[in-house]
Amino acid sequence: MILRRLFLLVLLGLGLAPARAHDPGLSTVEVDARRGGFAIVTGLSPADALHLLPSERRPERDGLSPDAAVLKDLWVAVASELWEVRSGGAIVAPRENLVQVNAADAVTFETIYPPLRGPVTLRSLRLRQLPAGHRQFILVSDADGLAVAKKLLTSEDATLEVDLDPGASERGVPAASNPQAVFGDFVKLGVEHIGTGYDHLLFLLGLLVVCRRFASMAVIVSCFTLAHSLTLGLATFEVITLPSRLVEATIAGSIVLVGVENILRRGQEPHGRWALTFGFGLIHGFGFASVLRDLGVGRDGSAVLGPLFAFNLGVEIGQIAIAAVVLPLLWRLRRNEVWDRRITFVVSLGVALAGLYWLLARTVFGM
């Protein structure tokens, strides 16, 4: 009884997850010292950018109002307050602020400073004002266009130090771009992403809840892992790209399909489930790839293999950790005589309804 209640509470929590079930809370920052100045380009989703405005000036919904021009003026006013730049111990004032608004994709802030050389300290001033857990991946290029520093900023660690002197990279890799540190950041990011990827987890739960043999569970998890790893790599290298809205809607549809199939088969394990898992796992991989794409991995020739491998490793570590808890629970519940009659049906119904909610939110209602 206790196990059954715990299981249903977990399912309820997943079903109440937001429509964008694995919104990473990520943004990208590119620092460029090549254009006769020093430019910081910060890209935020429209929903995140609204958090930078005074609460009384925000639209009621997390979207851009028809008066986008008014919002743009408000964003221009706060653009100079996004970053604190110090050179030689003194704060450097920006000389120009630009904002570009694309309602479908992003709000881009470009803050231009005088040319800077030598040690420079950058601090993100408004990171705490963004939704909880938001992170910024910052990449700094020197006067030669070479990436000299990169770091994943958080509200607890929102500062980056970099040396922009010519030849600085030859004297030693800046601490912020230490390969081991960046690798660890992307591993952690992968773990967090699968841990909050409620739609991915619910898809797997729907697949596993009807498995009668441990071997079947292992095959399901392996097929999902192989499939999403394949498209994660292809999408990150831009060999194949799909529109984000199509990917998100298809992921939701896969959850509905699995839940409904479980109900129609009355809890019996369908034949060939591995093929369905692999097929939809390919689509889920595009969802994972959106995280690296949003962070600008691979853009302008930046390194791809390291972040790709580290992020996917983090996803697999998180997936294994969750499976280590869920699979024994499923296996034990399987021995309960009312499993087929009640629990499988309730779980599958919850999976289908949650998937339907996400599907409608991502298509009809555009959430």
Same-domain status, 100 and 223: no
Same domain, 222 and 159: no
Residue 69 has pLDDT above 50, yes or no: yes
Q: Does the residue 61 lie in any domain?
A: yes
Domain assignment of residue 185, yes or no: no
| Mean pLDDT over each residue of the chain, to the nearest integer | 79
pLDDT in tens, 326-340: 888 877 777 777 776
Q: Are residues 16 and 70 located together in one domain of the fold? A: no
Is 60 exceeded by the pLDDT of residue 171?
no
Instruction: Show which of 177, 209, 228 is a domain's final residue.
Output: 177
**Domain count along the chain:** 2
The reply to whether 320 and 358 lie within a common domain is yes
Does some domain include residue 367?
A: no
Establish if 184 belongs to a structural domain: no
State the pLDDT confidence band at 9, using cuts at 50, 70 and 90.
very low
Which pLDDT value is given to residue 6?
43
Please indicate, yes or no, whether residues 206 and 344 belong to a single structural domain of this protein.
yes
Flag whether 101 is in a domain: yes
Reported as a pLDDT band with limits 50, 70 and 90, residue 189 is: confident
Residue 55 has pLDDT above 70, yes or no: yes
Residue 182's pLDDT band (cuts 50, 70, 90): low
Percent of residues, the chain, with pLDDT higher than 70:
79
Query: Residue 82 belongs to what domain range?
Result: 26-177
- Considering the domain architecture, whether residues 146 and 202 belong to the same structural domain is answered as no
Residue 136 banded pLDDT, cuts 50, 70, 90: confident
Between 149 and 111, the higher pLDDT residue: 111
Q: Is the pLDDT of residue 213 over 70?
A: yes
Query: What pLDDT, on the 0 to 100 scale, is given for residue 166?
Result: 62
Which range of 48-52, 159-163, 172-176, 213-217 scores highest in mean pLDDT? It is 159-163
Interval 76-104 mean pLDDT: 87
pLDDT at site 328: 83
pTM, two decimal places: 0.66
Q: Decide which of 168 and 134 is more confident.
A: 134
**Are residue 13 and residue 31 in the same domain, yes or no?**
no
148, 177, 206 — which closes off a domain?
177
Mean pLDDT along residues 312-316: 87
Shared domain check, 285 and 151:
no
Tell me: do 355 and 211 sit in the same domain.
Answer: yes
Predicted pLDDT at 8: 46
Last residue of a domain, one of 147, 177, 207: 177
222-238: burial string, b at 16+ Cβ within 10 Å, e else: ebbbebbbebbbbbbee
pLDDT at residue 354 in the model = 92
Higher-scoring residue by pLDDT: 175, 291? 291
Is residue 99 situated within a structural domain?
yes
- Average pLDDT score over residue span 2-14: 45
Residues 254 and 271 both lie in one domain:
yes
Per-residue pLDDT, averaged over 125-140, amounts to 86
Considering the domain boundaries, does residue 15 fall inside one? yes
Shared domain for 90 and 171, answered yes or no, is yes
- Mean pLDDT for the stretch of residues 138-158: 83
Q: pLDDT per residue over 246-300, tens digit each?
A: 888 999 999 999 999 999 988 788 888 899 999 999 999 888 887 776 666 655 5
Same domain, 261 and 172: no
Q: Identify whether 187 is part of a domain.
A: no
Comparison of pLDDT for 7 and 151, the residue scoring more: 151
